[in-house]
A = this chain, B = another copy of it.
Amino acid sequence: MKKTKIKRDPAGSREKILQAALEEFAEFGFDGARMDGIVKRAGVSKNLAYHYFGGKESLFLEVMEQMYVRMRAHHADLEIRHMSPIEGMSQLVRHTFAHFVEHPEVISLLNSENLHNAIHIRGSRKISELYSMLTEVIESLLERGVEAKVFRTNVDPMDLYISISALGYFYLSNQHTLGAIFHKNLTDPERLKAREDHIVEVILGYLKP
């Protein structure tokens, strides 16, 4: 009849749900993820998730936005302006790869979102904005490199950005099928280091004038 103690911690609960959702969506994808699984991970009641986020789709969107925010924050850490173009480009490539390695959920979430034709983020203004920064960084690097005659001309920044991402993303996102085919564990630290070096070589090779 009398409730002795009920923990109330709105912000804490919200954050726990978000984190749990991130893990669940990353592990199983949008369709494979279960609301039951999320609330169990979060250690909160079912309805609380609905109370805060409205439903599975909205929760997924919020998870996606948070993921993009973290990605942007990670990239913002990188101070490239004072580096030489080649050094800057190398660092950008390594930084991008490192983020995928440290945050495998990024890959799961993006794959899920693409399977659903990006319906969740298509409308999100937040996300779109995040990328202007990246494009600017790349454009600036390219300009300085061309000026210093260490980079070729006629490079499309978008294509370059996509290629930088692609070379690491695909390696990690398809690690299981590739691993099954080549009978190797693609995530062992030495192989990861080798891959990173390879990607740097590919990108710098391409940019060589």
Within the complex, the shortest CB–CB distance from A117 to chain B, in Å, comes to: 5
- Chain B residues within an 8 Å CB radius of A203: 202
Is B171 a contact partner of A169 (Cβ separation < 8 A)? no
Chain A interface, >50% SS class:
helix
A128 on the interface (CB 8 Å rule)? yes
- A113 shortest CB reach to chain B, Å: 6
A159 to B194, CA, bound (A): 9
Tell me whether A114 is interfacial, beta carbon within 8 Å.
yes
Instruction: Determine the chain B residues whose CB is within 8 A of the CB of A167 once the complex forms.
Output: 163, 166-167
Contact of A165 with B170 in the complex, beta carbons under 8 Å: yes
Q: Lowest 10 CB-CB distances: which A-B pairs, in order?
A: A166-B170, A118-B176, A31-B31, A205-B206, A31-B32, A202-B206, A205-B205, A166-B166, A159-B198, A131-B181
Q: Interface of A with B (CB < 8 Å)?
A: 28-29, 31-32, 108, 110-111, 113-115, 117-118, 121-122, 127-128, 130-131, 156, 158-159, 162-163, 165-167, 169-171, 173-184, 194-195, 198-199, 201-203, 205-208
